[in-house]
Amino acid sequence: MKKIIAVIAVILFLVIVSMLISNHEFHTYNFFSSFSGLAKILFTKKQYTVIQNEPYKIMIAESRRNNKTSNDILDEYMEEIGFYREDQMGSCIIYYNGNQYKGVYTSGNSYYSVWEFK
């Protein structure tokens, strides 16, 4: 019985630590989604992937690919869905499609970038 309680405690500890790391690095508690998204962009040819849709969209992207920065990749993605860069205020890039504005907060490091759509 003590072994079962110890195993449950270790698993619970690992889940909580994974959730805290995921929230700190990727701004979502869903560590399965964030870690699988990170693996997709680091180990495949995908430039970006969605890790959360609700309550707001969060995407992970490569920091650089073929001399393109993550902001260049973000601009291309937004143009594909009909939005064009309007302005930038710090880490928030504003896009406009003629009817609606979208703000995208960017952060990251040399391996990946996180895009938060607000």
Is residue 60 within 8 Å of 104, Cβ to Cβ?
Answer: no
pTM of the model: 0.84
Q: Cα(44)–Cα(112) distance, rounded to whole angstroms?
A: 13
Q: Whole domain around residue 52: which residue ranges?
A: 33-117
Residue 3 covered by a domain:
no
Helices 2-26 and 31-43: angle between axes, nearest 10 degrees: 60
Convert the pLDDT of each residue in 2-40 to its tens digit.
899 999 999 999 999 999 999 999 999 999 999 999 999
Residue 56 covered by a domain:
yes
What's the structural domain count of the chain?
Answer: 1
Convert the pLDDT of each residue in 43-58 to its tens digit.
998 999 999 998 889 9
Residue 73 covered by a domain:
yes
